[in-house]
């Protein structure tokens, strides 16, 4: 019980240092999982587009977090490091699965949700956006999702994607331009 109390008071970085010394998924790693599972789940769901893939992706993120726990050097925030793992995991999962299959899952899921709850406008918004974002490259799509859905700053995104801040801004701007050109009837906002 003392251990649980101790881990709850530590920062993420301190827990990461403790977890690196644990031989199994001990109290420090368990605490990190409990702190990040909601965030990782949300990111995986938004990047992968359906609950089944998101579940698979989020589990894989925590497995990779454990296996690479001694590689966190503390040069960035722990949350950025975790988001980097989540991003790379989701991108590799997306590459591994056909776009058509994914889109069919999304359509079926959203249609079911809309039929069940009568929440047509939210489901339509989600479906429309997912379809629109599919015209982008996977990394650009992820940039837009993390920026607008998760509210990450340009600095955080630059660290997560391991690019410069200006390059990050440019890629987001270009992705938005591409969406504007492709779907000119909708507004995608300005910088």
Partner 1 sequence: MTMPTNLLEQMSEIRVPPLPEDFDRSVHQRLNKRLLLEHLADLLFRGLPTAVAHFAQPWVGLLVYSLVGRFELEQPDQRETSEDRPE
CB neighbours of residue 12 within 10 Å: 18
* Binding region for partner 1 (CB under 8 A): 25, 33-34, 37-38, 41-42, 45-46, 51, 55, 58-60, 62-63, 66-67, 121-122, 124-126, 128-129, 132, 144-145, 148-151, 176, 179, 185-189
Taking the C-alpha atoms of residue 122 and residue 181, their distance in angstroms, rounded to an integer, is 24
Q: Cβ closer to partner 1: 30 or 163? A: 30
Least distance (Å) between residue 178 CB and partner 1? 12
Q: Cβ closer to partner 1: 18 or 179? A: 179
- Angle, helices 99-117 vs 120-133, to 10°: value is 170
Least distance (Å) between residue 8 CB and partner 1? 16
Least distance (Å) between residue 75 CB and partner 1? 26
Angle, CA 83 vertex, CA 82 and CA 88 arms, to 5°: 100
The values of phi and psi at residue 76, to 5°, are -125, 175
Q: Cβ closer to partner 1: 75 or 190? A: 190
Q: Taking a C-beta distance cutoff of 8 angstroms, is the pair 49, 81 a contact?
A: no
Least distance (Å) between residue 151 CB and partner 1? 7
Q: Cβ closer to partner 1: 2 or 191? A: 191
What are the distances in angstroms from CA 72 to CA 6, 43, 78, 82, 165?
Answer: 21, 20, 8, 10, 22
Least distance (Å) between residue 34 CB and partner 1? 8
What are the distances in angstroms from CA 145 to CA 8, 42, 68?
Answer: 30, 11, 25
Q: Cβ closer to partner 1: 131 or 162? A: 131
């Amino acid at each position: 019980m003392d251990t649980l109390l101790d881990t709850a008071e530590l920062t993420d970085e301190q827990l990461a240092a403790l977890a690196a010394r644990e031989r199994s998924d001990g109290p420090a790693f368990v605490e990190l999982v409990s702190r990040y599972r909601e965030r990782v789940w949300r990111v995986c769901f938004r990047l992968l587009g359906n609950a089944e893939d998101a579940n698979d992706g989020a589990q894989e993120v925590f497995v990779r977090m454990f296996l690479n726990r001694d590689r966190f050097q503390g040069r960035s925030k722990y949350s950025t490091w975790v988001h980097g793992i989540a991003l790379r995991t989701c991108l590799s999962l997306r590459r591994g699965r056909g776009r058509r299959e994914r889109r069919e899952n999304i359509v079926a899921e959203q249609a079911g949700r809309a039929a069940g709850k009568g929440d047509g406008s939210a489901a339509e918004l989600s479906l429309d956006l997912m379809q629109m974002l599919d015209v982008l490259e996977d990394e650009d799509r992820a940039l837009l999702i993390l920026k607008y859905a998760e509210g990450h700053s340009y600095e955080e995104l630059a660290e997560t994607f391991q690019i410069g801040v200006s390059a990050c801004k440019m890629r987001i701007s270009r992705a938005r331009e591409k969406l504007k050109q492709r779907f000119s009837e909708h507004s995608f906002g300005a910088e």
